[in-house]
């Protein structure tokens, strides 16, 4: 039911500046139930926004977007598609950047990422690109037209969002084990 | 990104008897962050068990299995496959039984089920059949051989597990709106 894949943590990040989703690198982060204390997205609950159109804006709802992770491979692909040198995890507001997983954004919901400290994250699914990081990338490359292209190019390369399943420390350089959840297609068909 | 489907709540249930996962019908249940207070599966955290082989048994982890839902259509299919009259939601330990959604178990993770009170559940994915409900069904039909067949026949018909996204009341007879999450396959391919 689970397949194990090794991944390397290339960097860990937090967003601590009021009014900005841009993250800054740290040597390590402590994760608790709810996310990374002090980070913009920390909390077991959050206020509903544009990503939750079924709720009135500002409604208190469970926070399934506690931690966001991107992959080095997909950031490089987005940079290539945008014809720029790099797309940095900070510009995307990512909390982690990992390396070593093909099509990381497509990691099946229910997969777990387990770190050496025992900390573990539960994959809640793909993060959907929105315009805001496109504007940040644009500001880094003012001579190019990027902002409008970002959403399309980053689709299915924007990484995943996670819930903290087990508290602990996540460090730059950690070797994480991804327990990749594979849905077994074994449904017995009805005969009539 | 979300498609709306209407579903009817045919029944709501709780497991309150110590040592048993079998649920009992109620007229309504109050859901809070963490599930249904007083129910066997209530809690923002739970102890890791057989379904979480990446953790030592008993480890405190986030509870993604707060509420389980089955569909009337799939329960009828399982009964047909097992050649018995019915499979009751209580025997499966379900908290809700709904009607009106094709292939309910395959509802995409990230879908929401919103009830008239404002209560809402977040789909965490398919529930995987284990042997225990098979034994309960067997006890109802002692003349048949069922227990060993249940897991196979119930695969992809066992319903889903959910996290409470917004507290409120869920009542028998409620018309719920399912905001079915559709993953848009719009990835731009790299040209080289």
Mean pLDDT of all residues in chain A? 95
The sign of the CA dihedral B30, B31, B34, B40 is positive
Please tell me the predicted confidence (pLDDT) of residue B149.
Answer: 93
Measured distance CA(B101)–CA(B71) in Å, rounded: 8
A106 to chain B, any CB pair closer than 8 A? The answer is no
Which helix (H) or strand (E) segment holds residue A77: the answer is: helix A72-82
What backbone phi and psi angles, to 5 degrees, belong to B185?
-90, 85
Higher confidence at residue B188 or residue B99?
Answer: B99
Residue B173, domain member (yes or no): yes
Res A192 pLDDT > 70 = no
Residue-wise pLDDT for A9-48, tens only, equals: 999 999 999 999 999 999 999 999 999 999 999 999 999 9
* Total number of domains in chain B: 1
What CATH code is carried by the domain that includes residue B11? 2.40.33.20
DSSP assigned state of A98: E
Q: Within a domain: residue A173?
A: yes
Cβ-based burial of B135 (10 A; exposed 0-12, middle 13-18, buried ≥19): middle
Give yes or no for residue B192 having a pLDDT over 70. no
A47 touches chain B (CB under 8 A): no
Facing residue for A53 by CB, picked from B2, B53, B60? B2
Question: Does the residue B51 lie in any domain?
Answer: yes
- Strand B67-71 and strand B120-126: the pairing is unpaired
Residues of A in contact with B183 (CB under 8 A): 126
A 10-39 → B contacts, CB under 8 A: 33
**In chain A, what percentage of residues exceed pLDDT 70?**
98
* Mean pLDDT score, A148-177: 96
End-to-end CA distance of chain B: 29
Q: In Å, how far are A13, A63, A163, A187 from A34, measured between CA atoms?
A: 16, 7, 7, 35
Find the mean pLDDT for residues A94-98: 98
Across the interface, do A109 and B112 touch by the CB < 8 Å criterion? no
**Cβ-contact B168, B126 below 8 angstroms:** no
Flag whether residue B44 sits within 8 Å of chain A, measured between CB atoms.
yes
In this structure, is residue B189 part of a structural domain? Answer: no
- Which residue segment(s) compose the domain that B75 sits in? 2-181
The rounded distance, in Å, linking the Cα atoms of A141 and A147 is 10
B71 vs A189, residue with greater confidence? B71
Q: Give yes or no for B45 touching A (CB within 8 A).
A: yes
**Is residue B187 included in any domain, yes or no?**
no
Question: Region A82-99: what's the mean pLDDT?
Answer: 97
Measure the CA–CA gap between A93 and B173, rounded to whole angstroms: 43
Q: Is some CB atom of chain A closer than 8 A to the CB atom of B81?
A: yes
Please indicate, yes or no, if residue B190 is contained in any of the structural domains: no
């Amino acid at each position: 039911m689970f397949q194990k894949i090794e991944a390397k943590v290339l960097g860990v990040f937090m967003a601590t500046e009021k009014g900005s989703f841009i993250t800054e690198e740290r040597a390590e982060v402590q994760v608790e139930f709810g996310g990374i204390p002090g980070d913009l997205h920390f909390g077991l609950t959050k206020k509903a926004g544009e990503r939750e159109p079924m709720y009135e804006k500002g409604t208190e709802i469970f926070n399934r977007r506690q931690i966001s992770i991107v992959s080095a491979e997909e950031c490089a692909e987005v940079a290539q598609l945008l014809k720029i040198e790099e797309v940095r995890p900070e510009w995307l507001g990512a909390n982690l950047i990992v390396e070593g997983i093909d099509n990381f954004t497509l990691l099946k919901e229910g997969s777990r990422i387990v770190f050496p400290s025992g900390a573990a994250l539960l994959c809640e699914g793909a993060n959907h690109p929105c315009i805001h990081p496109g504007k940040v990338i644009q500001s880094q490359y003012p001579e190019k037209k990027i902002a409008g292209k970002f959403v399309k190019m980053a689709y299915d390369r924007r990484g995943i969002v996670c819930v903290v399943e087990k508290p602990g420390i996540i460090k730059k350089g950690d070797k994480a084990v991804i327990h990749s959840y594979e849905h077994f297609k074994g449904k017995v068909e009805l005969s009539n």
